[in-house]
Amino acid sequence: MNATYKPLFDSFAFKNGIEVKNRIVMAPMTNFASNEDGTVTDAEVQYYARRSAGVGTVITACTYVTPNGKGFPGEFAADRDEMVPSLKQLATAIKEQGAKAILQIFHGGRECPPSLVPNGDVVSASVVASQSNASVTPRALSEAEVESIIRDFGEATRRAIEAGYDGVEIHGANGYLVQQFFSAHSNRRTDRFGGSLEKRLTFPLAVVDEVKRTVAEHAKQPFLVGYRFSPEEEYEEGITMEDTRYLVDALADRELDYLHVSLMDFWSLPRRGADDSKTRFQWIQETVGERVPVIGVGSIHTADDALKVFQTGVPLIALGRELIIEPDWVQKIAEGRESEIQTTLTKEDQERLVVPTPLWQAIVNAPGWFPVV
């Protein structure tokens, strides 16, 4: 190994005692490959196993916690106890390769296609459609339904514990339900779950509290709880960097094990709510970095990219598309073969890369998403 890259391979210990073998995390990425009934497929398990040997931690694609939260075709489920064997199959495959396995738990809210939820009943914080799903106007959840979904996040956490995962990540990013409650664009409620910035934080924090309560009750050994968030929204009345600093401050007070930023570019600058003298990540790190580990992500392609990010003080670095294109990304750096890391793929690479067919079709049919040559 080139000694320059050695810091990427230092182990990292979370406050609860769980230790990971290096600083590289596989980011959560939807693969559209699960069975209709919500169980994982063999192709999906093989895809994760192929990418779990080098990284220290794997965060799975999102899994829905309740039937009306299914956001994607081919998404796997954690919404009922019958799913525990399926969840266990995936956790085991990841852990057998030497990585920690974290289950990302999720509700799609207004982003759910009507065809995927019972009776086409798409729900959200308020009756406000999103730009990406503009033809669907969601129904506002009642207070009782909101409380039920909070409990569902806890139940999905219990199933993750029973299935042998090392932790869960609450998906509070990318415009899905947890974020919909925090955003003034999508949350127009006048009850205790909406209104002021503080009230819009009620649902996200209630989910965190329920997940942590479940862990305290059911986990027999240390179990990680993380939270992923998107720092800004493009909507004029949407989330700003100022809102996000308020959010992460409150999350840090909940003593989460880590926070995980959702960014396309680690070095991107704020739009609104903070000046652009610092990157979004710098603002977040400055706000909570000394209290809770923050995972950095976004257009980190090469070993040098990762090192540059790591030198900003980021404790952990997540890779998404890079691990699809190059499953041996970590191993090649460890073996001094970083110059051999693949940064593009061809339409003939599916079998070699062990990518499930639904994900592969999405990759080759979405121009600009992946560098296909």
**Residue ranges per structural domain of the chain:** 3-364
Beta bridge partners of 297: 318
What DSSP character marks residue 301? -
SS3 83: helix
Determine the pLDDT at residue 194: 97
Q: Calculate helix-pair angle for 143-162, 84-95, nearest 10 degrees.
A: 50
What DSSP character marks residue 110? G
Beta bridge partners of 294: 259
Strands annotated E in 142-283: 167-172, 224-229, 258-261
Cβ distance 199 to 193 under 8 Å?
yes
Q: Is 358 left (phi over 0), alpha (psi -120 to 50) or beta?
A: alpha
For 37, other C-beta atoms within 10 Å of its C-beta total: 10
pTM score above 0.75 = yes
Q: Rounded CA gap, 211 and 116, in Å? A: 25
Per-residue pLDDT of the chain (373 residues; tens, 9 = 90+): 899 999 999 999 999 999 999 999 999 999 999 999 999 999 999 999 999 999 999 999 999 999 999 999 999 999 999 999 999 999 999 999 999 999 999 999 999 999 999 999 999 999 999 988 889 999 999 999 999 999 999 999 999 999 999 999 999 999 999 999 999 999 999 999 999 999 999 999 999 999 999 999 999 999 999 999 999 999 889 999 999 999 999 999 999 999 999 999 999 999 989 998 999 999 999 999 999 999 999 989 999 999 999 999 999 999 999 999 999 999 999 999 999 999 999 999 999 999 999 999 999 998 888 999 8
Q: What H or E segment, with its residue span, contains residue 319? A: strand 316-319
Tell me yes or no: is domain 3-364 CATH 3.20.20.70: yes
Q: Rounded CA gap, 202 and 254, in Å? A: 13
Cβ distance 105 to 163 under 8 Å?
no
Known catalytic residue: 176? yes
Determine the pLDDT at residue 232: 94
Which residues are CB-contacts of 74 (< 8 A; sequence separation ≥ 6)? 31, 32, 33, 34, 358
Determine the pLDDT at residue 368: 86
* Alpha-carbon torsion (320, 321, 327, 328), positive or negative: negative
Tell me the pLDDT tens digit for each residue of 11-66.
999 999 999 999 999 999 999 999 999 999 999 999 999 999 999 999 999 999 99
Among 176, 227, 246, 258, the active-site one is: 176
The first and second tokens of residue 214, run together, are 């479940």
Maximum distance among all alpha carbons in the chain? 58
Determine the pLDDT at residue 264: 92
Measured in degrees and rounded to the nearest 5, phi and psi for residue 267 equal -95, 10
Determine the pLDDT at residue 367: 86
